[in-house]
Amino acid sequence: MPQSQKVVVIGCGPVGSLAALYAARRGYTTELYDLRDDPNHGDPTLRPEIAVIPLGLSERGIRAIEGANVPGLLDDILSDDRPTYTRMVHIQDAKEKEPTAELMFNHKMIDLDFDRKTITFELIAWKSKSLNMQRGSTSDNVDRNARPAETPAAGFQDPSTPSAGGPRFKTVKFDFLIGADGTYSAVRQHLMRKVDIDFSQVYADAIWCDLILAADESGNYRMDPTSIHIWPADENIVVAQADVDGSFRAGVVCQADLVRKYESRPEDFAEFFSTQFPGIIPELISAEEATAQFVAHQKISLKSVKMNRFGYRDDVLLLGDSSHTMTPFHAMGMITGLEDVRIFFENFRDPVQAPGTRKNGQDIDNFCPEGAVAAYTADRVRDVSAMVDLAHEHYHELRHGVRSPFARARKICDGILSRWVPFLGWTSLYARIQFGHERFSVVRRKEARQRNIVNVLVISGMAASLYAAAIGSRSLTALIQK
């Protein structure tokens, strides 16, 4: 049996964990590293205080998880799901339901924070245990003056094992490294020192703050748990989704200057919040509790990240938020990352058998075929770029579109055409993104075409209505004059 190469994955979120499973299930020695202590068995004091953005799991993500071929994995993930079927828009105490496709909530994505410590890919991290993966100490010393060997290496520090002589390090050699370490990716930072990468980072004028709307005295939900609840304002929005304990996890998204204003004057926050989002205080949360949570909870600046290269030679690959970051308004950040994993393995790594090599008289089973990383980048970059743009545009749709008569008329036309003339292949943007498997660049192109057609239909309908009203008015006037 040939010896398999070693795959190292940086980042133990959903994307990194899935990538590690894909590699391990293909027979490769796989190690998974993360900054945080073991969330199941480790020291809770080593877990950083973080903000949590609840995310949904729909068909694209489910397909990617199924592709790992881990028995029972998907069942375990979906065993605690909260299916959502409608979107409830709260406007000045009015509530209106709009049907959407089914959406499964599951994972909660968290951020990571790595720092460089030696001359190669040096990351402050710990190594987690995971299914079919090795677990070992990260407390060995590192020769910080050593030059990189022929095999690439990453250096790690174990923050849970301090010593009198200072931090303990270990150098880990790898044959292939997957960076899934989030939007502030350290792997990406090091790549950008070695590779010419076009990189853009655009901040929305918006900050996310977590707000927990507790269950009632009996532990029951205070609102319909099968709906996504939205309170839109002109430049601000609240989006709430049911949690498993009877509460709702809400995201308050406000303009950055307003957040900073009320951070310095928290006594005025409840009044502002009640004016912007009627029906939450005091029905769902007290003014005092809303203010306390606003002060205590972490604030996240929302941004979009794009880049034109996702790897280095056939040694390093970026997946998920480390290669593209989007605002959370289509709930597609995690799902797009999971799809990254499936597409790389199924479309680029698996179809081409990497030629074996010999090293020190031993046959080596190579992990990555030549050119697979570059081919994946060329194929995937336009799709994730399109999804980043779609997520950003949906921020405007949620704040303004749900209240616009013109947008509502467009939505009605979309529903009629998709239901009564299905042979046209007509469907909503939301359904294409969440529950189809078309490329995001194709979805964006089809949506632009559909929107142009619907705009013409809506405008024509409005013009016809006005013309009919004018004719009717003239006829009525003539009858009255007689």
pLDDT (tens digit per residue) in 24-64: 888 888 888 877 665 555 555 554 455 555 667 888 889 99
> pLDDT band at residue 159, thresholds of 50, 70 and 90?
low
Contacts with 350 (C-beta within 8 Å, 6 or more apart), sequence order: 26
The yes-or-no answer to whether 3-50+110-198+308-394 and 85-105+201-301 have a common fold is no
What residue segments make up the domains of the chain, in order of their start?
A: 3-50+110-198+308-394, 85-105+201-301, 404-476
Higher pLDDT, 178 or 139: 178
3-50+110-198+308-394, CATH topology level: FAD/NAD(P)-binding domain (3.50.50)
State how far the alpha carbon of 107 is from the alpha carbons of 65, 184, 199, in Å.
12, 19, 28
For domain 85-105+201-301, which CATH number applies: 1.20.120, 3.30.9, 2.60.40, 1.10.3470?
Answer: 3.30.9
CB 401 within 8 A of CB 394: no
Buried b / exposed e over 47-64, threshold 16 CB at 10 Å, is: eeebebbbbbbbbbbbbb
pLDDT confidence of residue 144? 27
Mean pLDDT of 83-98: 64
State how far the alpha carbon of 123 is from the alpha carbons of 11, 14, 188, 322, in Å.
11, 19, 12, 15
Single out the residue of 391, 84, 111 nearest to residue 241, CA to CA.
84
Entry pTM: 0.78
pLDDT confidence of residue 395? 78
Q: What pLDDT digit, counting tens, does each position of 6-30 carry?
A: 888 988 888 998 999 999 888 888 8
φ, ψ for residue 124, nearest 5 deg: -70, 120
- Beta-strand relationship, 82-91 and 362-365: unpaired
